[in-house]
Amino acid sequence: MARRLPSCFYKDCFCFNSSDFAPYWAEIIGYSCGGIFAIGWWLFIDAVMYAGSHSLPVAIKFDDWVPGILSTLALIMINSVDKNLLNGNESIYGEGVAWKARLFAFLGVALGVGSLGGAITIMALKYINPGYIGEAAWAGFAIVAQNFLIFVSGMCLWLFRSLERGEEYSIADADLKKKRTFRKFSYRGVDLEDLMDLTSDQLVELVHCRARRRFQRGLKRKPLALIKKLRKARKEAVDNEKPATVKTHLRNMIIVPEMIGSVVGVYNGKTFNQVEVRPEMVGHYLGEFSITYKPVKHGRPGIGATNSSRFVPLK
């Protein structure tokens, strides 16, 4: 059987992967745009030298230089505008920066298009209409090619710079999201998903000793009734909304995983404080989250509390 040659028999020399060039795309596109710009000016200078050395019937004058100079100026104007400034936030960049950047970019593009149109007009009026053909009309075609290449190089450079910055921002956002990984909750080494699937015996072995003794002695009727009410409230709850509040006086009720996500109104001796059960509360008592007193907040001292504010009778 004939032996099949591999598609790449010399990997280091003949096989290329586009991902290998990813770090160098900025340099490649930048040098390419610069090369296109240089080719445009080289064509025009070649036409100028050729016309001077061969004594062509049409001489190169200053008006032939104007479109190329204006196209170069348009390239500088376009690439000096940052894309972020076009949609800039006034609170960040200042007032009126966005419309100024848009106006400057518009003037640059209009100048580039106008220069290209001027080059076409010069070629038509100075070289085509008089009937010059061949080498006599070479300068006119060189002027048009020069301005076209300069305009293309300027627009490609601006577009690539914008895309490159967008990729940089997207990579930075992805890295930021990777850094902002949230801590996964676990109760004594058991994840939340596994915690919800634990049986009663497994939960008893996991909680602290006081709660373990409480569960081993057996739960009374009232705690079981509260769990039943919470289960019913969660079942009747609308999607993406919290279940109804279930009021209770059982401040010594130990929070179990089945109660996570429920809303309990815990009595503090005067009112029922709403407590939303979270995973971090497992193993604690309901009364810990509904204090029976109002924390004291000391204000300024009253009159007579200090020597400086003591009442002094007038004689």
State residue 94's pLDDT score.
Answer: 58
Q: What are the b/e assignments for 144-155, b being 16+ CB within 10 Å?
A: bbbbbbbbbbbb
State residue 137's pLDDT score.
Answer: 81
At 253, the pLDDT band (50, 70, 90 cuts) reads very high
State residue 286's pLDDT score.
Answer: 94
Q: What angle do CA 212, 218, 224 make, to 5 degrees?
A: 110
Percent of the chain scoring above 90 in pLDDT: 24
pLDDT for residue 42 is more than 80:
yes
pTM to 2 decimals?
A: 0.46
The per-residue pLDDT for range 204-221, each reduced to its tens digit, is 999 999 999 999 998 889
pLDDT for residue 197 is more than 70:
yes
| Integer Cα distance of 147 and 144 in angstroms | 5
Q: What is the CA radius of gyration of the chain?
A: 40
| Residue of 96, 50, 105 lying closest to 74 (CA atoms) | 105
State residue 268's pLDDT score.
Answer: 94
DSSP the chain: -PPPPPS-SSHHHH---GGGGGGGHHHHHHHHHHHHHHHHHHHHHHHHHHHHHHT-SS---HHHHHHHHHHHHHHHHHHTS-HHHHT--HHHH-TTHHHHHHHHHHHHHHHHHHHHHHHHHHHIIIIITTT--GGGGHHHHHHHHHHHHHHHHHHHHHHHHHHHHHHHHHHHHHHHHHHTPPPPPEETTEEHHHHHT--HHHHHHHS-HHHHHHHHH---HHHHHHHHHHHHHHHHSPTTSPPPPEEE--TTPBP-GGGTT-EEEEE-SSSEEEEE--GGGTTSBGGGGS-SSPPP---S--TTSSGGG------
Phi, psi angle pair for 254, to nearest 5°: -85, 130
State residue 227's pLDDT score.
Answer: 92
pLDDT for residue 90 is more than 60:
no
State residue 64's pLDDT score.
Answer: 84
pLDDT for residue 14 is more than 70:
no
Task: Provide CB contacts within 8 A for 63, sequence distance 6+.
Answer: 122
Work out the average pLDDT over 184-191.
85
The per-residue pLDDT for range 67-86, each reduced to its tens digit, is 889 988 988 888 887 777 76
Tell me which of 85 and 285 has the higher pLDDT: 285
pLDDT for residue 250 is more than 90:
yes
Task: Provide CB contacts within 8 A for 19, sequence distance 6+.
Answer: none
pLDDT for residue 272 is more than 90:
yes
Mean pLDDT of the chain, nearest integer: 80
